Chain A
Amino acid sequence: MVELGALPEDCIAHILSLTTPLDAARSAAVSRAFRTASDSDAVWRNFLPPDLDLIVSTSSPPPFGPSLTRKKDVFLRLCSDPLLIDSGRKSFALEKWSGKKCYMVGARDLSIVWGNTPSSWRWSSFHVSRFPEVAELIRVRWLEVHAKMETRLLSADTYYAAYFIFKFVHGNY
């Protein structure tokens, strides 16, 4: 009678690739066979977005050095270190539990009404931001900011939430 533990590693890997990144990583602690299967490229290739090469091609310098040969390491890197893409206008990362794509749209990629009026908005670099430029609100009577995202860039079959990220400068209001 066959037991799960006796299945060949590529079968275990196939099974794990149908779970989630969290389940796959956790199951490494089940047994040696599970550990090898769970670390294999067959599993993590499935969790990486199929269009990853295309996305990464717009990032410079190339983000993955020769040390990142395992797909698992590529996955984990993308979860912890957002990648600047699209000429530094957006950042891209993966959500660790699910492998879904996350994006952040930089200020330069937003449509800010009166954004080019120096008395209303000032553009500068800010060391805390991952983007080369941030927009600082000086004074407006009309605050309107638009962001646009092509849905084809997103992960399929996924609910997304959009967040507006801003920082108050101490004492300025």
Chain B
Amino acid sequence: MSSSPPPSSAAASPSCPKKMIALRSSDGETFEIEEAAALQSKTLENMIDEDCAGTPIPLPNVTGKILAKVVEFCSKHAEPGVDDESLRAWDAEFVNVEQATVFDYILAANFLEIPTLLNLTCNVVADMIRGKTPDEIRKFFNIKSIFSPEEEEEVRRENHWAFE
């Protein structure tokens, strides 16, 4: 049986027990994540290199609810032997959530620097933006614009080719 190597850089040697990293969310929940999964986050990779004591890494920007899902995502993506098609299907299910949750994932992926999660979640929003007019985008995402009429006129003029 051959297994595909995990997408992250490090591969634990088979004889060593898997190192677990402890994370603490902004609301005090702790989670354990395998090192290989944690290394998908550049932020965690840097923190792991520095930390020796093994105390939970505090993540003040991520709530427990979201961190649980991020751990789930990274663990799945560090799993050996998952074929591309299954992973894609799993990813599609993972982001099949309400808009506000997708934004929470984006913030977490941005803060934790997880390129796979960031691309996945940003693509979901990009799909919602494509083809919409500015008004439709504002309505869809409940964005309040504080452009003055002059500013809006200036923007449309600067990008006139996109409005023709």
Residues of A with Cβ closer than 8 Å to B? 1-8, 10-11, 14-16, 18-20, 22-23, 25-32, 34-35, 76, 96
Task: Point out the residues of chain A lying under 8 angstroms from B151, CB to CB.
Answer: 32
Are B155 and A35 in contact (CB-based, < 8 A)?
A: yes
| Nearest chain A residue, comparing its CB with the CB of B146 | A32
What is the bound-complex CA distance between A20 and B130, given in angstroms? 7
Q: Which of A8, A19, A26 contacts B134 (CB 8 A)?
A: A26
Tell me, yes or no, whether B48 is within 8 Å of chain A by CB: no
Question: What is the CB-to-nearest-CB distance from A8 to chain B, in angstroms, rounded to a whole number?
Answer: 7
Give chain B interface residues in 118-160, CB to chain A under 8 Å: 118-119, 122-123, 125-126, 129-134, 137-138, 141-147, 151-152, 155-156, 158-159
Task: Point out the residues of chain B lying under 8 angstroms from A35, CB to CB.
Answer: 155
Residues of B with Cβ closer than 8 Å to A? 99-100, 103-104, 106-107, 110, 118-119, 122-123, 125-126, 129-134, 137-138, 141-147, 151-152, 155-156, 158-159, 161-163
| Nearest chain B residue, comparing its CB with the CB of A26 | B162
Known A8-B110, A25-B161, A28-B155: A16·B141 in contact at CB below 8 Å: no
Question: What is the CB-to-nearest-CB distance from B82 to chain A, in angstroms, rounded to a whole number?
Answer: 24
Are A2 and B143 in contact (CB-based, < 8 A)?
A: no
Question: What is the CB-to-nearest-CB distance from B163 to chain A, in angstroms, rounded to a whole number?
Answer: 7
Q: Which of B146, B156, B161, B163 contacts A96 (CB 8 A)?
A: B161
Question: What is the CB-to-nearest-CB distance from A125 to chain B, in angstroms, rounded to a whole number?
Answer: 31
